[in-house]
Amino acid sequence: MATAPLLERIVARRTRVGIIGLGYVGLPLAVEFAKAGFDVVGFDVDASKVSQINVGRSYIPDVSASELSTVVASGKLSATTDMSRLGEMDVVDICVPTPLRKTKDPDLSYIVKAVEAVAATLRPEQLVILESTTYPGTTDEVVQPMLEAKGLKADRDFFLAFSPERVDPGNTQFPTSKIPKVVGGLGPASTELASALYGAVVARVVPVSSTRVAEMVKLLENTFRAVNIGLVNEITLMCHKMDINVWEVIDAAGTKPFGFMPFYPGPGLGGHCIPVDPFYLSWKARQNGFECRFIELAGHVNASMPDYVVQRVADALNSVAKPLKGSHVHLFGVAYKRDVNDVRESPALDVIELLARRGARVSYTDPYVPTLAHGASLLESVPFDQAVADRADCAVITTNHTVFDYPRIASLPLVVDTRNALAGDTRETIFRL
């Protein structure tokens, strides 16, 4: 059986595992493999990440310094920028970003560069797994031809699979090891090997019939969330017009034990998946002559929320006869979600830009994001106590970090609460979405 030698090494945990991309997906996965007894090498083009890992210093909130330093000290995990070492690995797991171009088309440049590095040292019996979120067909249309260019054949000489990452940064209830892993191989041998590998580190493996099914699974998961958030954001705009508290509506509807799942409004979508994945899906659908009208409409609604937040700031200032232009507006939180340091696609960035365009003086506080690029300048996070003492003309809760002292924020002259962090506070100085 072609898979027997590699399968035997996987079961015995004698497999050398290489992880390309040491961010929110790759680093937790590398640590899990190392904790399970595999020899793991992390690969990244960012030398600072490599240096921090090799001294056991974590830059990801979901990976504690103690667990990282333990596996590094044991010799089970190391990191390097030397991609030529990929040939030493039995398994190569690709966990690189897949952003959008300015045209909202998929940008596969990170995947292509990673696969080029793998192809340069590819040898028989290696297992290559792509985890980066992408459109259905990427593995067999893009990755497979690149790896087969020198004559080796997938699912015969080497093995190829797709397994979508399902990381939820900051979610302590569901770390990597507790999230079921969907696996779709290019053929039966590839599926078997990838399933065995992940079975050593996660609670449950869910094999599917192909790489395209596995790719589509991830897009369905995140498009489901994007569309439902779009729906509740539109309901929020509607409720505002009708003078109805949307948060009270959602809480009451959430008491129904069947047929309803609560989603919550906010200042817009952020992160590396939910704002991006629907565009990957609609782009691929267009290539096949299908128009995703429902999905794209949700995208338009979600993209409009930062403008709505700025309008609520203007409404708040207008209530005390102040113009937006020249007023000091202070944002509490710029990360895309609570208790993380990730600002990718964060709606707070759009809110800052829109406020600045309208002449507001903008500052922010975020203990997880000490500095923030804003055009050609660099903003620095204002310490919380100083931010409260400064008493900006209007404060905006854009990210509801648990470390914030919300009663003190509520005492500021005007507050726009985009996260319902001040639920129950009925002061007229607090404005909600």
CA 61/CA 185 separation, integer angstroms: 31
- What's the distance, CA 257 to chain centroid? 29
Q: How many CB atoms lie within 10 A of CB 223?
A: 23
Beta-carbon contacts of residue 165 (< 8 Å; ≥ 6 apart): 25, 29, 95, 131, 132, 133, 218
Q: What is the amino acid identity at position 226?
A: A
Q: How many CB atoms lie within 10 A of CB 19?
A: 29
Largest CA distance in the chain: 78
Q: Where would I find the H helices in 270-304?
A: 277-287, 293-303
| Dihedral-angle region of residue 271 (phi above 0 means left; psi in -120 to 50 means alpha; beta otherwise) | left
CA 212/CA 46 separation, integer angstroms: 30
Phi/psi for 383 (5° steps) reads -55, 145
- Judge whether 394 counts as a catalytic residue: no
The position carrying tokens 């005007």 is 414
Asked if residue 54 lies in contact with residue 79, where contact means CB atoms within 8 angstroms, the answer is yes
Gap between the terminal Cα atoms of the chain? 60
Which one from 239, 273, 292, 394 is the annotated catalytic residue?
A: 273
Q: How many CB atoms lie within 10 A of CB 396?
A: 31
CA 5/CA 1 separation, integer angstroms: 8
Asked if residue 87 lies in contact with residue 123, where contact means CB atoms within 8 angstroms, the answer is yes
Q: What is the amino acid identity at position 251?
A: D
From residue 195, give the alpha-carbon distance in Å to each of 7, 35, 189, 192, 198.
10, 18, 10, 5, 5
Copy the structure tokens of residue 299. 């995208």
DSSP 123-173: -TT-EEEE-S---TTHIIIIIHHHHHTTS--BTTTBEEEE------TT-SS
CA 421/CA 406 separation, integer angstroms: 7
Sign of CA dihedral 245, 250, 253, 256: negative
Q: Running DSSP on this structure, what letter comes out for residue 381?
A: P
CA 132/CA 346 separation, integer angstroms: 20
For the annotated catalytic residues, the residue numbers are 273
